[in-house]
Amino acid sequence: AQSVTQPDIHITVSEGASLELRCNYSYGATPYLFWYVQSPGQGLQLLLKYFSGDTLVQGIKGFEAEFKRSQSSFNLRKPSVHWSDAAEYFCAVVLNSGYSTLTFGKGTMLLVSP
Amino acid sequence: SQTIHQWPATLVQPVGSPLSLECTVEGTSNPNLYWYRQAAGRGLQLLFYSVGIGQISSEVPQNLSASRPQDRQFILSSKKLLLSDSGFYLCAWSSPSPLHFGNGTRLTVT
């Protein structure tokens, strides 16, 4: 069955430190990949997406993600975390443009310590 | 630019009462529309999606229904709410990609 795994439920990072959030998927083919961020009580905001081409994609707010086909991973990174980055982050995948099959991971809560 | 409006932001309803949540999209035509529910610790669950007026697909059998009376309007309804319907409901649109979400409705069924 198709699945998306975010192995870390919570992550705490010091302000100014680097960040990497993990995402692994289980699909028969290369899916389209997304990262969303959700602040408390708010909707989800798209950070970045990967459809094809360069496997390192740049997003908003200084985030980037790298698609690694051999590892079925799409990890999110940021070189220096700001306190305002504290939020929940969701990885999502879809096998084709039919969004009825969009699958989200269960999310990783990022806490930023001073 | 495109915008999505979802209301109300919060709602407290007794068990057995009806429900109507509304979502509208501006700035695009014939979008795909979606209703998701987010329960604590359970991630996002797709409830319904629509590719056009009157076309609704249900992903999960439940106490809820959806309708799309106009191109950019999507409504989530229930005739009788259950305690288990409590959660955070998110409307989203795509045309065709990626998904863009509204700010959500926090529903508490008491």
Torsion of CA A63, A67, A72, A73, to 10 degrees: -20
The predicted structure's pLDDT at residue A62: 96
C-beta atoms of B101 and A100 within 8 A: no
**Closest-CA distance of chain B to residue A51, Å:** 10
pLDDT per position as a tens digit, B6-47: 999 999 999 999 999 999 999 999 999 999 999 876 788 889
The predicted structure's pLDDT at residue A66: 96
The predicted structure's pLDDT at residue A21: 98
Q: In three state form, how does the secondary structure of A49-114 look?
A: EECCCCCEEECHHHCEEEEEHHHCEEEEEECCCCHHHCEEEEEEEECCCCHHHCEECCCEEEEEEC
C-beta atoms of B90 and A44 within 8 A: yes
